[in-house]
Amino acid sequence: MNNQGLQNQPSSFGGYGGSLAVDRQRVLRNTYLLLALSLIPTVLGAWLGVQTHLFEGMRHGLSSLVFFAGAIGLMFLVEKNKNSGWGVAFLLGFTFFMGLMLSRLVGAVLQVNNGPQLIMTAFGGTAAIFLAMASLATVVKRDLSGLSKFLFVGAIILMVAGIANIFMQSSALQLVVLVGVLGVFSAFMLVDVKRILDGGETNYISATLGLYLDIYNVFQALLSLLGIFGSDRD
């Protein structure tokens, strides 16, 4: 009897492990699908903001206040409703809002001769970084939770520096912040995908929110850098 029970354990554990693997792949698949869907409201929001010149006359301090208040409020609603269909609705509303907030940068880039090319280059560069980090996450074996804490501290420092630069208007500090954002949130892509693969994130709405913020920040930083160094002005 005991031997028979021991013989059955490997298959039982194997079945459980297989079920966990299937669940993780399902969360990752749903995350990628919702992430792709979330880009549509972002594009629509950016287009609407550019067409209506919504934030052109707004001071940077006021636009930052609107950004933080709207983003934090909508992220709270997404997380609060992440176990229902409302979570998806609030997530798409959040991505539309983020598109609106992105329109100021997009509009400024479009004013240069090669603006559309710079936007496409930033989009392609962001996609390439994401694919590289997502692929790397599938082969990395070590736990990255320690790196996640380090990156979080780095993100807070960059946010404080960015807010300070609203008043300082330092070009050097702006470049440091942009390069830092590009590096930190590229690394966050790796950490966030790895967390899903390891079973640390089981809700695809929360997972999508995290990856969306990574992609948004990388794209914004990359587009800003391209606008500074690659713009073609008469």
122 part of a folded domain: yes
- The encoded tokens of residue 211 equal 């990856």
pLDDT given for residue 62 in this prediction: 81
Nearest residue to 31 (alpha-carbon basis) of 87, 77, 74, 80: 87
- The encoded tokens of residue 191 equal 């950490």
158 part of a folded domain: yes
197 part of a folded domain: yes
Give me the helices (H) in 53-144, please: 60-80, 85-110, 115-137
pLDDT given for residue 139 in this prediction: 94
pLDDT given for residue 3 in this prediction: 45
Rounded to 10 degrees, the C-alpha dihedral 145/147/148/150 comes to 130
Nearest residue to 211 (alpha-carbon basis) of 31, 21, 29: 31
7 part of a folded domain: no
Rounded to 10 degrees, the C-alpha dihedral 81/82/87/90 comes to 80
- Residue 12 burial (C-beta neighbours within 10 Å; 0-12, 13-18, 19+): exposed
Residue range of the domain that includes 197: 21-229
12 part of a folded domain: no
pLDDT given for residue 153 in this prediction: 95
pLDDT given for residue 4 in this prediction: 42
pLDDT given for residue 63 in this prediction: 83
Residue 73: count of CB within 10 angstroms of its CB: 13
Q: How far is CA 93 from the centre of its chain?
A: 15
6 part of a folded domain: no
Q: How far is CA 179 from the centre of its chain?
A: 16
Q: Are 114 and 231 in contact (CB under 8 A)?
A: yes
40 part of a folded domain: yes
Q: Are 109 and 227 in contact (CB under 8 A)?
A: yes
94 part of a folded domain: yes
Q: Against a cut of 0.85, is the pTM above it?
A: yes
Domain count for the chain, please give it: 1
pLDDT given for residue 15 in this prediction: 52
Which residue numbers in the chain have pLDDT < 50? Answer: 1-14
